[in-house]
Amino acid sequence: MRYDDVTRGVFLSRKNRFVARVAVDGVEQDVHVKNTGRLAELFLPGRTVFLARAAQGAARRTAYDLIAVDAAQEGEPPNYVNVDSNAPNASVEEWLCGGLFSEHASVRHEVRHGDSRFDFYVEDGEERAFIEVKGVTLLREGVALFPDAPTERGVKHIHGLAACLQAGYRAYLIFVIQTKGVHALSPNDATHPAFGAALRSAMAAGVTVLAYDCAVGPDHMCIGAPVPVVV
């Protein structure tokens, strides 16, 4: 996926879950944060960030969306991390047909099964599958961790995928790591032990759990290489 009209800025502070203060060409302004996670390891004052201009005519108070951060230390080459919570689904959608499924697969969005609504429902020949996507931005010592805050919704999705499996569908949970340079993905048990427990239970039941890193730049993100899931 690719963004149009991307601008560089300097991160100053996060005012609340949805708004950050950024300097653009030396002028401070509010920008929309497209991610409600904590992102404390990424949103550090002075860091270079990248902003996508909002569509013209959009009824909103900010002119830009904050979409990526350069997390490199001083003197290191750029280390881009995408922080747009919409980017994982968009990137997976581009990759599914020809990546995980055949090029002729049929893909539908936001399909309900039981009491859960999943990101994708795929029909590919005889295969019928539900897919839930989780974007990952929390990295520690080369390990991607999810979630970065407690997520009861995430636990519900895992239980829902197990129910899909029992009903005869394939069930996939795909973690999209929104950067490069990681060697594993693990549940963040310290932050939400119930999520880790649900993930292990679902994997034991047969839910397919996958993780992929991404090729990320200031104006793009696409699915990259598989990453081991270590539970």
* pLDDT digits (tens), the chain, 231 positions: 999 999 999 999 999 999 999 999 999 999 999 998 889 999 999 999 999 998 766 567 899 999 999 999 888 999 999 999 999 999 999 999 999 999 999 999 999 999 999 999 999 999 999 999 999 999 999 999 999 999 999 999 999 999 999 999 999 999 999 999 999 999 999 999 999 999 999 999 999 999 999 999 999 999 999 999 999
Residue 57 pLDDT? 61
Helix, strand or coil, per DSSP, at residue 157: helix
Supply angle C-alpha 141, 142, 146, rounded to 5.
Answer: 95
**Computed over its alpha carbons, how large is the radius of gyration of the chain?**
18
Residue 108: what residue type? Answer: R
118-125 long-range Cβ contacts below 8 angstroms, 24+ apart? 118/157, 118/160, 118/161, 118/164, 119/89, 119/92, 120/92, 120/93, 120/96, 122/96
* Cross-strand pairs, 46: none
